[in-house]
Amino acid sequence: MCSVGGDGEGLSLFSGESATRRIVSVAVPRLTNQSYLQQRTHLRECWIGRRALYGKLTASQQWDLHAFFRPTEDFTDDEAIAHRVHLSKVRPSMPHRAGKAYRAFEEVERAAVPARAGTRSRTSDKVIHVRSVVRPEPDFAKLVRGLMVSLREREKTQRPPDDSAA
């Protein structure tokens, strides 16, 4: 049976069926500014150099990492800490959710197998995996281009037949 102690200092674990209970305190780790900055720097380096790792996380995990750590932003340490403090106040669950997403990211990183150069597969039964990497902000230029292409295609298919040929 597990219960959180009233002092909030740690987690108390009760074990055994005897009349006496043995209490073991386990410290709950807290994210310090220094560890936040280290994790943020690591995520930023991966965003710049190994972005495909993000694609192995769920979209919500990616959003949580982007919201809390802002790996795409070129913040100073003070700006990053101010962002963390502000976000923790307005969205109290975000530090916990981002921490879980960061641990998942670490697992993805550990499991990542480096690509072997010069290796070719000769089988025709290839399986292709498609994963998405979310962007923290919409790319409005790409959205406009996509809408314009869509409108042109719609015009082509819905254009009335030319009456001058008759």
pLDDT tens track for 78-97: 999 999 999 999 999 999 99
The tokens of 10 are what? Answer: 């740690």
Structural domain contains residue 81: yes
* Residue 164, pLDDT score: 58
Predicted confidence (pLDDT) per residue in 70-80, tens digit? 999 999 999 99
Domain that holds residue 47: 33-111
- Give phi and psi for 158, each to the nearest 5: -105, 5
In this prediction, residue 160 has a pLDDT band, given cuts at 50, 70 and 90, of: low
- Which SS3 state, helix, strand or coil, does residue 11 take? strand
Partners of 15 in the β-ladder: 22
Residue written as token pair 């669950």: 93
**CA nearest neighbour of 55 among 100, 96, 114, 112:** 112
Overall domain count for the chain: 1
Partners of 83 in the β-ladder: none
Q: Could you give the angle at which helices 59-69 and 33-49 cross, rounded to 10 degrees? A: 120
Residue written as token pair 């403090």: 85
Distance CA 77, CA 79 (A): 5
Structural domain contains residue 149: no
Structural domain contains residue 122: no
Structural domain contains residue 2: no
Structural domain contains residue 151: no
The tokens of 114 are what? Answer: 């480096």
CA angle, 46 then 48 then 50, to 5°: 45
Structural domain contains residue 163: no
The tokens of 22 are what? Answer: 């043995």
Q: What would the mean pLDDT of 47-62 be, rounded to a whole number?
A: 92
* Residue 122, pLDDT score: 62
Structural domain contains residue 52: yes
- Which SS3 state, helix, strand or coil, does residue 54 take? helix
In this prediction, residue 109 has a pLDDT band, given cuts at 50, 70 and 90, of: very high
Better-predicted residue by pLDDT, 123 or 8: 123
